[in-house]
Amino acid sequence: MRKIVIGDVQGCLDELKALLDLMNFNSASDRVIFLGDLVNRGPKSLEVLEFLYSMDHCVLNTLGNHDLHLLALTIGNRPYREKDRSIKPILDSKNKINLIEWLRHQPLMHEEPAFDAIMVHAGIHPEWDILQARSMAKEIESLLQSDNASSVLTGMYSDQSWSNDLDGVPKINAIINSFTRMRFLDQNGLCNFTEKNAPREVSDSLTPWFMSEDMKIKDKNIFFGHWSTLGDFCHENISCLDAGCVWGGEMIAIDLDEPQKKIKYKSSISR
């Protein structure tokens, strides 16, 4: 069985299908692991969810911040805004309950032990070892799949950065932010959630999370998305597979048997 990993889709169904065709994808024998943000901003968010839901037997998605925002709009008490219009068809869909239930039972972090590989949307906090990362992911996954999901999703909108002394809601938010929103750490080791540019374009006072001197997980191949300005990027054993398809860039896929060989499809979207 091939294990294919694909970066941010964000409602770009045509590009996703074209990329899968380039990979000669076979739903009977292949498995696809998405790096989060299946929805929002792109033109066909509903269709993306319907397509992947129909292939549940061979699809997995590590939840991203836009996926969680969709859950907050449906399960939580997050109010609909005009900027959410690209996911309104999901909110109006007759199949909404099935799609949302499928989405909220997806993981925050996924491992492929045979490849010493970890998949997440944005990153893994440098201070976490692998046991902590697993524990943090399971804690949030359990909450999202519980009857308490609404309060978690409603209260997650903060810029809480991780520290070891957190508890309660601040801890929950810091874990979610680390897995789904993190890019840079400042000189105090706190997450900077406002800067979105590539490292070469920002102050030396900010460090990409995967270049932190505190990074504890060094023996795993980590694949993430989220950072479109970083694009197709590799630092040692850590790879970004988000090249901004929804912004007119590319959608990227790899086969875990040949991770150095990237398959890309250029977006037809113009921004």
- Whether 203 contacts 185, CB under 8 Å: no
Report whether pLDDT(91) > 80: yes
Query: Going by DSSP bridges, is the β-strand pair 117-120/109-112 parallel, antiparallel, or unpaired?
Result: antiparallel
Helices (H), the chain: 13-22, 45-53, 65-74, 88-91, 96-104, 130-144, 149-154, 168-180
What's the pLDDT at 268? Answer: 83
Residue 76, C-beta contacts closer than 8 angstroms, at least 6 positions apart: 149, 150, 151, 152, 153, 154
Domains, the chain, in order of start with CATH, read: 2-266 (3.60.21.10)
Q: Tell me what the mean pLDDT of segment 85-90 comes to.
A: 97
- Could you tell me the pLDDT band of residue 231, with boundaries at 50, 70 and 90? confident
- Whether 184 contacts 207, CB under 8 Å: yes
pTM, to two decimals: 0.97
Question: Helix, strand, or coil here: 244?
Answer: strand
pLDDT tens digit sequence for 45-59: 999 999 999 999 999
